């Protein structure tokens, strides 16, 4: 059950996201292939791993189904408040769900469709894979899947898609705070 205390907790976590300035850089990545050398990736402009991990740590509270500040729960609570612009909230939540990989989109994330083991790696799968195979829980199956990404550019493209999703979700949290939480003090 969401209440005012949960909204304050959400605002605190969003403040942490907003303070992670190193996350908000334009991604500039070049994928190369050279005969006799194979593939390589140049991360010319990219957030440091510490910033990525900090953002993922803060964002997972808004993504995890049982969290006190899961975005779906927050949206449901705000829909019941008398001064909430329901149309604006619904539009925000639709976009949030697309960038979280919870709602299918007409295009692949960043225009890159990745397929592994005959299965498309959806944005939701990639977020879960990186959070639980690299950054947090270290699930054996997810670690194995990341290790089987044998072409470095394939793995790097998935990493880029994940970081881009974190950046977009972080920006959406800042928008959410300014447009919905500040008004519901």
Is residue 173 pLDDT above 90, yes or no?
yes
Q: Which residues pair with 115 in a beta bridge?
A: 120
Break the chain into its structural domains and give their ranges. 4-184
Cα separation, 129 vs 159, whole angstroms: 10
Q: What is the pLDDT of residue 99?
A: 92
- Out of 20-24, 114-118, 142-146, which region has the weakest mean confidence (pLDDT)? 114-118
- Quickly state the pLDDT bin for 128 (edges 50, 70, 90): very high
- Quickly state the pLDDT bin for 1 (edges 50, 70, 90): low
3-state secondary structure of 44: strand
Q: What is the pLDDT of residue 3?
A: 85
Q: What is the pLDDT of residue 105?
A: 64
Looking at per-residue pLDDT, the higher value among 172 and 3 belongs to 172
Cα separation, 15 vs 35, whole angstroms: 47
What percentage of the chain exceeds 90 in pLDDT? 58
Q: What is the pLDDT of residue 60?
A: 94
Q: Using only C-alpha atoms, what is the Rg of the chain?
A: 18
Q: What is the pLDDT of residue 8?
A: 94
DSSP-derived letter for residue 106 is S
Q: Summarize the confidence of residues 7-15 as an average pLDDT.
A: 96
Task: Write out the two tokens for 50.
Answer: 């510490």
Q: What is the pLDDT of residue 115?
A: 81
3-state secondary structure of 100: coil
Strand ranges (E), 56-124: 115-116, 119-120
Looking at per-residue pLDDT, the higher value among 30 and 171 belongs to 171
Cα separation, 11 vs 103, whole angstroms: 24
- pLDDT tens track for 54-112: 999 999 999 999 999 999 999 999 999 999 999 999 999 999 999 998 877 655 555 56
Q: What is the pLDDT of residue 27?
A: 92
Q: What is the mean pLDDT of the chain?
A: 89
Q: Summarize the confidence of residues 162-167 as an average pLDDT.
A: 96
Q: What is the pLDDT of residue 72?
A: 96
């Amino acid at each position: 059950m969401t209440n005012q205390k949960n909204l304050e907790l959400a605002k605190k976590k969003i403040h942490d996201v907003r303070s992670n300035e190193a996350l908000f850089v334009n991604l500039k990545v070049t994928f190369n292939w050279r005969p006799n050398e194979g593939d390589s990736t140049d991360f010319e402009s990219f957030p440091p791993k510490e910033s990525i991990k900090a953002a993922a740590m803060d964002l997972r509270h808004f993504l995890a189904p049982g969290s006190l500040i899961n975005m779906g729960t927050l949206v449901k609570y705000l829909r019941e408040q008398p001064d909430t612009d329901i149309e604006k909230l619904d539009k925000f939540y639709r976009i949030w769900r697309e960038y979280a990989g919870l709602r299918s989109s007409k295009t692949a994330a960043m225009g890159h469709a990745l397929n592994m083991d005959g299965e498309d790696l959806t944005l939701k799968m990639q977020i879960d894979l990186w959070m639980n195979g690299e950054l947090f829980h270290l699930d054996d199956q997810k670690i194995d899947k990341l290790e089987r990404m044998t072409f470095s550019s394939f793995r790097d493209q998935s990493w880029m898609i994940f970081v881009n999703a974190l950046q977009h979700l972080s920006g959406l949290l800042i928008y959410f705070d300014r447009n919905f939480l500040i008004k519901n003090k």
